[in-house]
Amino acid sequence: MKYIQVKKATTYDLSTVQRIGRETFIETFADSNTEEDMNKYLESSFSDSRLTDELNNPESLFYIAWEDDKPVGYLKLNTGIAQTELQDQKALEIERIYVKSSHLGKKVGQLLYEKALDVALQQHNSYLWLGVWEKNPRAIRFYEKNGFIAFDKHIFKMGDDEQVDIMMKKELQ
């Protein structure tokens, strides 16, 4: 594997975040969802206006994993009211860690997770939390390996399909 560098994304990286977000989401979930549900989700979650708002939100942070000049994964973190559920001031949410299928198993996800952990520690958060699709055993194993434990479930809307996410957290103190 070549050297991977994780860099903070800004609004200047909108098209890159949009492209890597769509590509990795399709690679990961297209086989398990209808084309209609995928298209609805991709249109709403990766539109120019939505991503611009999220990139400008001081309580959301994006990081892109780069292999030379090629984006191979990305991370989205939320604090405060940007969090999708708990909105606990002591918590940092990992909303997304997505890695291109060509780079799965090459430690890119681990580098992105370590960036999330660094941010949480710098912000003096008490814990990290996330939601992971119950039908994504690879991701569940990844988070368990990194010390996360399941504590609840919630519904994730994929287009018109309501799916169950396992909510997991890792205490930091």
Is 3 in the active site? no
Q: Determine the Cα–Cα distance for residues 79 and 88; give it in Å rounded to an integer.
A: 8
Nearest to residue 160, comparing CAs of 22, 34, 55, 66? Answer: 34
Low-confidence ranges of the chain (pLDDT < 50): none
Is domain 4-130 annotated with CATH 3.40.309.10?
no
Q: What is the dihedral of CA 60, 70, 44, 83, to 10 degrees?
A: -20
Predicted local distance difference test score (pLDDT) of residue 1: 57
Q: Determine the Cα–Cα distance for residues 60 and 76; give it in Å rounded to an integer.
A: 7
- Structure pTM? 0.95
pLDDT digits (tens, 9 = 90+) for 115-152: 999 999 999 999 999 999 999 999 999 999 999 999 99
Q: What is the dihedral of CA 141, 143, 145, 151, to 10 degrees?
A: -90
Three-state DSSP state, 171:
strand
Say which of 41, 98, 127, 143 is annotated catalytic: 143
Predicted local distance difference test score (pLDDT) of residue 10: 97
Question: Chain-centre distance of CA 3, in angstroms?
Answer: 21
